Structure 1
Amino acid sequence: HAAGERIRQGLWVVIPSSVIMITILWNSRLVFEASGIDPAVTSIASGYLKAVCFGMPPVLLYMALRQVSEGLGHTLPPMWITGSVIPLNALLNYAFIFGVWGFPELGGIGAGWATAIVFWVELIAMLFVTRRHWFHATDVFARFSPPDFAEINRLLRIGIPIGLTFFVEMTIFSLVGFLIGRMGVIELAAHSIAGNLNWMTFVLPSALGAAAGIRVGFHVGAGDSLAARFSALTAWRFAFVYAVVAGILLFLGRNLLVSVYTDDIEVKVMAATLLIFIAFYQLADDTQAVAAGTLRGYKDTTMPMVIALIGYWLIALPLGFGLAEGLAEGLTGTAPLGVFGYWAGLTVGLGLVAIALGLRLLSTSGDSSRIASLAHR
């Protein structure tokens, strides 16, 4: 039942988080205008984000309850909820954007209102899940608990590094996409195709990392260091084998795969070449995702964040930029590699992240005294 108290304290974090997110999104027009974006685009984008603001409190509450469900080992309910709202979101987008079925015609801003409504639907569905016996056993809604700032601080010390790690990962790919977009339409199209195929193969390792973190957390809580290590290393080995197989399939089937996306010869040739890089990138990306997810089960989140920051921003991005733009020409004698340079930099940087996280996992999972100190905390 101590889990119920921790969940209640975690829910208190939703309030300030909602205020922060709403403040940022509501004032997004200032950022767009400062960036010199077309006024018409600014109007639609800022209107869209303002509409999304009305869905911020429910989606953050939903995410908190979803993590509880997954942490208890019940991953299917959130999956069914997410899968169910995808077609609902598509229908509401169509209704609000084009004004059909009696809905107002709001254009692009209507997509924001559709998203906000879907966020509320997700929360309502998740509240029904909380009535299940395995969730109800935590007594999360049995009583009211005022904010316990000591407990909230403990939760934030684990949670903030995880959030920052996601931020580091998302922002570098957004920035690389922007930099590649400056090179031309062909380069951007090839990058988008390669990135999409990479993401499709990454879904399973990402889920495996989350599952491994849950299993390891169970064993750590029980003080069973051997079972925790077995779960951790089994997940990592599976990710390694999966990455090798996925990389081989991407390499051998690269021409066929890119032909599904486009008939443009230049784009196909460039995207197929990028898949050679991604075949190697898979090995790093899949194993680091599982290692990072597993380490969260050991409550080890700060060092993985530091490793990700160094690997992405201090190694991958500078190296990729240098190779892509020709800044390393005087040092290595190589001509600018363009879009290939960025993916080469990402592959090297993420490879180092994967090695560092793998060593961290081996060290942490073998530290039985540290695991014993984490039990029941």
Structure 2
Amino acid sequence: MYKTNSISEKMKQFMIILLPILITQVGLLAMNFFDTVMSGRAGASDLAGVAIGSSLWVPVFTGLTGILMALTPIVAQLIGAKEGNRVSYSVLQGVYLSIFLSILVVILGIFIIHPILNGMNLTDHVSHVAKHYLIGLSIGILPLFVYTALRSFIDALGETKTTMFITLLSLPINVLFNYLLIFGKFGFPKLGGVGAGYASAITYWFIFLIIVFFVHRIQPFSIYRVFHTFYRISFSKWKEIMKIGVPIGLSIFFEVSIFAAVTLLMSSYDTVTIASHQAAINFASLLYMAPLSVSMALTIAVGFEVGAKRAKDAKQYSQLGIVIAVLFALVSAILLYLFNEQIAGLYTNDQAVLQLTGHFLIYAIFFQLSDAIAAPIQGALRGYKDVNITLVMALVSYWVVGLPLGYMLSIHTDLGPFGYWVGLSSGLTCAAVTLYFRLRVLQKKHISRWVDETS
């Protein structure tokens, strides 16, 4: 990144950072998209099993990798402050932490997955698919977590096109092994939805090997010599990363887990409802990649400007990001309204599932705008390393407002399963409003402080 002197320069630099992140995020989600779509072609029970498995895995993955995302503002501020000699130490400690977290997840999974699935109202086949989908996926947890740590380092340098390139390389691998393992082609075992888990694990090992090669051998990453000196584990550095990362991870967990909780609560409905909800959530998640990508780009841009103590520039990037995300949301809402039947048709040929998915997609329109405001603001706040209050706001918005309201509407009104989606929209709106006021307060505080320091 470099210092900019006008809004047009900021727009150009921001889009250079944003577009590769957007393509990367869509690519990563496309793996889950292909898992869902291709499992749906294997049958409604396979789709429902992958839905349940994903709902258990995604909150854990996003929450824990949120901890590793702390490396992005840490490295971005070091670069902005021209302290590049301290980067390799921080990144390597992040890699160590990612390995520890991945081992912890696998150990916990061994003990809790079976009891959780047994406690749900699932058919034997759906439960089998969910369990063995997660077992297959677990083989790729360690490389995925290390990849996330290294990706945070690469993105913090503003070189987001590199992770885009790696992700685009990985997509054909994921689709190929989905095809081979779900449908049992070319002598491979026919595993149904379970095969999607193993296909994802293979893909995670692929992107891990590629990113290690880039960091070690390709400039500008090799300049920082991340793997040239293997420092001893520093628990004090882990504490620094986790002081920023744990609130980030929990904030993301509270948001993502509310969607997972809704899917798990849907298990009280029939298989058609579970499959339809998952298909709609899957596509809504694809659209969410736009505000999420803006959020990640803002963490880099704002972190760089905060490190350089340019409060006005940091504020301008924040405003620019929110406007871009809102424009994305308006386009998404139009697509959902005009083409909801065609979108539902991507997931299934089952007429009952297709019709119900289309109805769920209409409700998805309502939380597009709230996401477009809340996500970018969270990214900007992370650039300031302001994460603790954001954590509290996320907890209240999603779990005190959103989920209870959705549960009440689903049980006590004629909305039924759609009541959960109204609750989701309400929680996201609450988050957007509270986060906006927090950002305004923080920006005024930084502008006043840095004006005093230079006067």
Q: 1:216 touches 1:294 (CA, 8 Å); kept in 2?
A: yes
Specify the SS of the correspondent of 1:367.
helix
Structure 1 position 6 matched with structure 2 position 90: yes
The answer to whether the aligner puts 1:304 opposite 2:415 as a matched pair is no
Query: Which residue does the alignment assign to 1:55?
Result: 140
Describe how 1:159-198 pairs up with structure 2 within 5 A.
159-184=245-270, 187-188=273-274, 191-198=277-284
Alignment deviations for residues 88-147 of structure 1 (CA, whole Å, 9 cap, x no partner): 123234444566556567676555444333222111100121122211222322312112
- Report the CA distance between 1:283 and its aligned residue: 0.8
C-alpha contact (below 8 Å) 1:214/1:297 kept by paired residues: yes
> Quick one: which amino acid aligns to residue 218 of structure 1?
F
TM-score if structure 1 supplies the norm length?
Answer: 0.84
- Alignment length (residue pairs): 366
1:250 alignment partner, SS class? helix
Query: What letter is aligned with 1:217?
Result: G
Secondary structure of 1:366's counterpart equals helix
Matched, 1:149 2:235: yes
The match for 1:238 is: 324
1:357 aligns with 2:435: yes
Residue 171 of structure 1 aligns with an amino acid whose one-letter code is S
Q: Distance in 1 between matches of 2:450 and 2:117?
A: 50
Write the distance in 2 (CA, Å) between the matches of 1:16 and 1:185.
37
Matched, 1:71 2:149: no
1:90 aligned residue: 175
Q: Residue 33 of structure 1 contacts residue 39 of structure 1 at CA under 8 Å; is this kept in 2?
A: no
Distance in 2 (alpha carbons) for counterparts of 1:251 and 1:102:
43
TM-score (norm 2): 0.71
* CA-CA distance at 1:367 after TM superposition: 2.1
Q: Work out the CA distance in 2 between the residues paired with 1:299 and 1:229.
A: 14
Amino acid at match of 1:344: V
What whole-Å deviation, never above 9, does each CA across 1:255-279 have from its counterpart, x for those lacking one?
6655776788877776555555433
Residue 117 of structure 2 corresponds to residue 32 of structure 1: yes
> Which residue of 419, 430, 451 corresponds with 1:341?
419
1:200-228 Cα distance to aligned partner (Å, 9 max, x none) = 33221111111111111111111111111
**Which deviates more from structure 2 when the two are superposed, residues 265-274 or residues 114-123?**
265-274
AA in 1 matched with 2:435: L
Range 312-321 or range 56-65, more displaced: 56-65
Is 1:121 aligned with 2:206?
yes
Query: RMSD value over aligned CA atoms?
Result: 3.2
User: Which runs of 5 or more structure 2 residues have no equivalent in the other structure?
Assistant: 1-84
Query: Once the 2 structures are TM-superposed, how far is the Cα of residue 240 of structure 1 from its aligned partner?
Result: 2.4
Deviation at 1:54, TM superposition (A): 3.4
Superposition deviation, residue 343 in structure 1: 1.8
Taking a change above 3 Å as real, the CA distance of residues 248 and 372 of structure 1, as seen in their structure-2 partners, is same
Task: After superposition, give the CA deviation of every residue in 1:268-314 in whole Å (9 maximum; x if it has no partner).
Answer: 77655555543332110121111112211111222222111111111
Q: Which structure has the higher relative contact order (CA within 8 Å, separation 6+)? A: 2
SS at match of 2:226: coil
Deviation at 1:354, TM superposition (A): 0.5
242-251 or 155-164, larger mean C-alpha shift: 242-251
Following superposition, the deviation at residue 24 of structure 1 comes to 2.2
Shift of residue 83, structure 1, vs aligned partner: 2.3
Matches within 5 A, 1:218-297: 218-251=304-337, 254=340, 274-297=360-383
- Counterpart of 1:329 in structure 2 is none
Shift of 1:69: 0.8
Q: What is residue 322 of structure 1 aligned with on the other side? A: 408
Quick one: which amino acid aligns to residue 176 of structure 1? V
Report if the CA contact (8 A) 2:329-2:369 is conserved: yes
- How many Å apart are 1:20 and its aligned residue? 0.5
- Asked if structure 1 preserves the Cα contact closer than 8 Å seen for 2:306 and 2:384, the reply is yes
Identity %: 34
Structure 1 residue identity aligned to 2:147: Y
Q: Structure 1 unaligned segments of length 5 or more: list them.
A: 327-334
Q: Secondary structure at the match of 1:299?
A: coil
Which one is further off, 146-155 or 82-91?
82-91
Does residue 165 of structure 2 align to residue 80 of structure 1? yes
Q: In structure 2, give the amino acid aligned to 1:14.
A: S
Measured in 1, the distance between the counterparts of 2:303 and 2:443 equals: 12
- Once the two structures are TM-superposed, the CA of residue 174 in structure 1 deviates from its matched residue by 1.8
**Counterpart-to-counterpart distance in 2, 1:321 and 1:62:** 37
Q: Distance in 2 between matches of 1:7 and 1:203?
A: 25
